[in-house]
Amino acid sequence: MSPTRAPVPPPPARTARQLREATSSARRRHRPDADLNPLRQGLRLERVPDPCSFVLFGATGDLAHRKVIPAIYQLWRTNLLPAEFSIVAVARRPYTDEAFGAEVRASVEANSRVQPVDEAAWAELAKRITYQQLDFGDDAGFDRLSERLDALDAERGTAGNRLFYLATQPSQVTEIVRQLGRVGLDHEMRGSGWRRVVVEKPFGRDYESARRLNHEVAKVFRESQVYRIDHYLGKETVRNLLVFRFGNGIFEPVWNRSYVDHVQITVAESLGVESRGAFYEETGASRDILQNHLLQLMTLVAMEPPSSFHADALRDQKLQVLRAIATPDVEHVRHDVVRGQYGSGWAQGAAAPGYREEPEVDPESETETYVAGRFTIEDWRWSGVPFYLRAGKRLPERTTEIAIQFKEVPLPLFRESTGDPAPNVLAMRIQPDEGIMLRFAAKVPGLGLDVRTVNMDFDYGTSFSVDSPDAYETLILDALLGDASLFTRADEVEAAWAVVTPIIEGWAAMPAPRFPNYAAGTWGPEAADELMERDGRRWRRI
């Protein structure tokens, strides 16, 4: 029998916030098994969220109209939302409920992935949408919002559960969160329902600003109430990556430094900055893609198996990867990270302007529209395996792919063959044409011993001809259900910035390359190819 040890009492709670946290964690720890609902066993995964109000800040903006509201409509149409549901659309412009309803109806028609719009379903959802004009600095306005939500609880049975979705400019996040805290809309008192806040990227613009933002949000909401969206994590193939790695036994034995030569992750966009010139001038490819999408994909490839698919088990493992990435120093930035900016050229059969000629872009801009880098993970599994990451705009095609290239066979027996067997590659296409490709060598039928490399394709579109949900549908439903697995935690955000900030600072300290340094419609600057060639490798032809 093991000796009994007296439990160490936690430090006394000093503030109301600490008291709340202490109480809720104690409840979690001591919840007896008898409290579990036996009727839940065996039910399907599509659990319908609790009755709730969905408060959409920035409701008149582009993100709300193109992504958020069509996703909610789709969830409603497929009966994945509760009947006791209301949407409170919040923005600064004056609208009546009717005028706003007409506008979002048009957005759903334009952006819904399933057409035509289901009239009956839309009519029911439209009844649940109300609009509230609100200046985010207006105290009285937030008081009115709070009262309105209370009234909706009574009218619609939404039970005090509220999800605040901040589809706003990043600069407005702190103010909205502060106001929500001021009027007590963050409080999860016993029996009064849950409160969650969804924050869109970017989460800061460097390590320090990310820490400050996290700190401001944490003054009001507990970390468990905060859902930071990186929509890439909601994509079907990204989620399938977890299934592929941890639902199949055969890959785990070769998923390490003994068998993997290197990993390439590409996020290529064929478009330029379009109408987002001003935004892009402030971000660039490093902040826009590398800090979040690319590093998130890298963590999913490199992470150790989590002990479960609970949010924190998964995120703990991703965090370990981010913390194990060798922090770039100035020499590393100089040699192993490449930045580029597109000039004019021809992309997909049409003349394309250079970045500096785009609207709202400084004609002397030194913002990078392309970034490529060689990163290493200092742990037992990946030590010595380079991860090559690249992202850029105005590349020849839009594609996102993760490719694991395996080492060559130790003794090349078929050197005399007419074909040269290439190393095995396992490529996971995230978009478009989501799927998985395995490249291997096969004998060409005949009397000789000719070997040819063949690609075996698994294509979601042809194998399962059903529509995958949009990433926003997945993520909004998860947030309503309280499942944070696919959302980024504060410490993850900071760890990712700890990788990218030295690169940005390193670039600031050294002279910029002669921009533009690649033509629109090409695969990036020559320096990116040289980066690979120095290691005796080359970028995959995608």
Q: Which residues participate in catalysis according to the annotation?
A: 293
Does 454 bind other proteins (CB under 8 A)? Our answer is: yes
Site track 185-204 with other proteins (rule: CB under 8 A), x = hit? --------------------
Stretch near other proteins under the rule CB under 8 A, chosen from 37-45, 53-61, 103-111, 132-140: 37-45
Residues 6 or more apart whose Cβ sits within 8 Å of residue 388: 262, 263, 264, 265, 372, 373, 374, 375, 531, 532, 537, 539
Residue 244 CB, shortest distance to other proteins, in Å, is: 14
x-or-dash string of contact with other proteins, 118-157, rule CB under 8 A: ---------------------------------------x
> Is 8 or 34 the residue whose CB approaches other proteins more closely?
34
Would you count residue 244 as binding other proteins (CB under 8 A)? no
Query: Under DSSP, is residue 105 helix (H, G, I), strand (E, B) or coil?
Result: helix
Compute how many other C-beta atoms are within 10 angstroms of the C-beta atom of residue 476. 27
**Angle CA 92–94–95, to nearest 5:** 120
Residue number, 18 or 418, with CB nearest to other proteins: 418
> What is the distance between the alpha carbons of residues 101 and 349, in angstroms, rounded to a whole number?
40
Q: Could you say whether residue 281 binds other proteins (CB under 8 A)?
A: no
Q: Which stretch binds other proteins (CB under 8 A): 41-49, 283-291, 499-507, 516-524?
A: 41-49
Q: Which of 2, 15, 41, 171 binds other proteins (CB under 8 A)?
A: 41
Q: How far is CA 300 from CA 166, 232, 319, 388, in A?
A: 26, 12, 10, 15
Ranges of H-type helices in 421-489: 460-463, 471-481
CB of 360 to other proteins, least distance (A): 32
Using only the alpha carbons of the chain, give its radius of gyration.
25
Chain residues 460-479 in contact with other proteins, contact rule CB under 8 A? 461-466
Minimum gap (Å) between residue 277 Cβ and other proteins: 30
Residue ranges of the alpha helices (H) in 78-164? 97-111, 119-126, 139-156
- Which of 259, 279, 414, 458 is the binder for other proteins (CB under 8 A)? 458
Phi/psi for 207 (5° steps) reads: -60, -45
Residue 392 and residue 269 in contact, taking contact as beta carbons nearer than 8 Å? yes
**Binding footprint of other proteins, residue count (CB under 8 A):** 35
Burial environment of residue 21 by CB neighbours within 10 A (0 to 12, 13 to 18, 19 or more): middle
Q: Rounded to an integer, what distance in angstroms lies between the CA atom of residue 228 and that of residue 475?
A: 10
Q: Which stretch binds other proteins (CB under 8 A): 14-22, 43-51, 239-247, 383-391?
A: 43-51
The span of 253-261, 286-294, 320-328, 449-457 binding other proteins (CB under 8 A) equals: 449-457
Interactions with other proteins, residue window 61-100 (CB under 8 A): 79, 81-84
Q: Does 250 bind other proteins (CB under 8 A)?
A: no
**CA–CA distance, 438 with 424 (Å, rounded to integer):** 7
Among the listed residues 432, 448, 449, 534, the single contact to other proteins using CB under 8 A: 432
Q: How far is CA 536 from CA 90, 527, 530, in A?
A: 55, 14, 9
Given the complex with other proteins, which of 81 and 166 has the nearer CB atom?
81
Is residue 334 within 8 Å of residue 373, measured between CB atoms? Answer: no
Q: Which is nearer to other proteins, 153 or 200 (CB)?
A: 153
Q: Which residues would be at the binding site for other proteins (CB under 8 A)?
A: 34-35, 37-44, 47-48, 51, 79, 81-84, 157, 432-433, 452-459, 461-466
